[in-house]
Structure 1
């Protein structure tokens, strides 16, 4: 494994600090499951504490760099850092251990460094441009499967109601090609699953760059292909994502059109 860049080291320090907050609070969730009025306040406070911790650490090391949370859309600076203190809020609420803390850096309109950390499973994913994608000490590679019948498609399609008819038709066409379809979430973990070869392909709709940017870099560095669901090149403004290993990605688009 190559040495992590100084930026990734700082990002790791930040997300692991937040992780201690979420692990503690995750352990309390089961005691609040039947107290809906209390659990909402508890989750909100946990999110706020996590966000404050993330910002505090990153601002210490990057006092002049703009930090962008999920509700902001300003990516025009030469260099910005995207943050997501809790991706997978619904999983967190229900005690499902699929969640993450995400930090990624955009420089000159490119995602150049990224980390995704699941504090419950202690899986630390990271990628730096040109250095590959990693989970803990393991190099990540997209799957090598070449037959769609043997592949797993991950789908997050809860936002399908907001799609135009062309995109809806394309999504349905893609799903029909696969026998095995999974909906796990959150987006960041599903993208990490593609990068690590657990999922062979993935479709995300109306995605948020704070949630998906880090995973996008993981997949690129792991050898995957990324476009929108119409096959157009993905960019920072793309809402819909189609990603897979290059062979399956090509097969999806050929058979869809």
Structure 2
């Protein structure tokens, strides 16, 4: 994105500050519920929501509305919070990794991305369990807890560690099972964390070398794509076309492995 499509630098810094504050407040709420307990609702057999998700989202939305009352907000649980037109749209996942959270697995986060004129320019992912705060701002780089991060330099698929995820309809669709097997045989390993935001941040920081997944939602990737891009990574759809957060399929990598990952995905779909 060109500099002309960014807000003024002072405004961009203010937006980043608010995004960080909102993510940290949401993370504090999640940790409160891990100690106090929570109720679980089933949206589907595999898709869960808790009162921790709901309070985190309500609090984040209220904070953003107070700071920027004219901005649009898209959140996982309640959808669009403002119908008015604005060049800004906040895209929120108040608890990414809900299944992990409900099982007491400390691998979940708050993810907050910001679109400006249709492109994501700020991304904040806060993992309150470690704690780790990942931040990316367009043209300013990416950090974890204030330290710069970069993607790995692994250039051979056989030496790579990849990560993926599965949709909630996996039992019916079988999506990604063939791909998972193919990559497992061609790499040093494939992991599944249960949270796309963390997957993207871990590729950005070199912990993973690549990621692929289908059936994603905007709140899954809005923050992570900024962080990864600013860390030197590459993001496309499965066919190599430009990725937007409204795409359903994503390939994310350190850039060096990108074509190899797309090639394996192509083999998997040619049946």
TM-score for the superposition, normalised by structure 1: 0.85
1:52-101 Cα deviation digits (max 9, x unpaired) = 11111111101111111126479985221111111111011011111111
- Give the structure 2 partner of residue 25 of structure 1: 33
- Give the structure 1 partner of residue 56 of structure 2: 50
- The unaligned stretches of length 5 or more in structure 2 are 1-9, 43-48
SS of aligned partner of 2:50: helix
- The unaligned stretches of length 5 or more in structure 1 are 33-37
Q: How does 1:77-116 map to 2 (within 5 A)?
A: 77-116=86-125
Distance 1:233 1:202, change over 3 A: same
Residue pair 1:229, 1:240 contacting (<8 A) in 2 also? yes
Q: CA deviation at 1:106?
A: 0.5
Q: How does 1:129-208 map to 2 (within 5 A)?
A: 129-158=138-167, 159=169, 162=173, 173-208=182-217
Distance 1:121 1:171, change over 3 A: closer
Of 21, 24, 28, 1:13 maps to 21
CA distance in 2 between partners of 1:19 and 1:170 (Å): 33
Of 210, 226, 235, 2:244 maps to 235
CA distance in 1 between partners of 2:53 and 2:212 (Å): 27
SS of aligned partner of 2:256: helix
SS of aligned partner of 2:215: coil
Deviates more, 1:154-163 or 1:243-252: 154-163
1:118-152 Cα deviation digits (max 9, x unpaired) = 11222111111000011112111011111212110
Q: Which aligned runs of 4 or more in structure 1 are off by greater than 3 angstroms?
A: 38-41, 71-77, 158-164, 167-176, 253-257
CA distance in 1 between partners of 2:132 and 2:111 (Å): 12
Q: CA RMSD in A?
A: 2.7
- Give the structure 2 partner of residue 61 of structure 1: 67
Residue pair 1:75, 1:109 contacting (<8 A) in 2 also? no
SS of aligned partner of 2:55: helix
Residue pair 2:142, 2:230 contacting (<8 A) in 1 also? yes
Instruction: Name the structure where helix makes up a greater proportion of residues.
Output: 1
Q: CA deviation at 1:254?
A: 4.7
SS of aligned partner of 1:207: coil
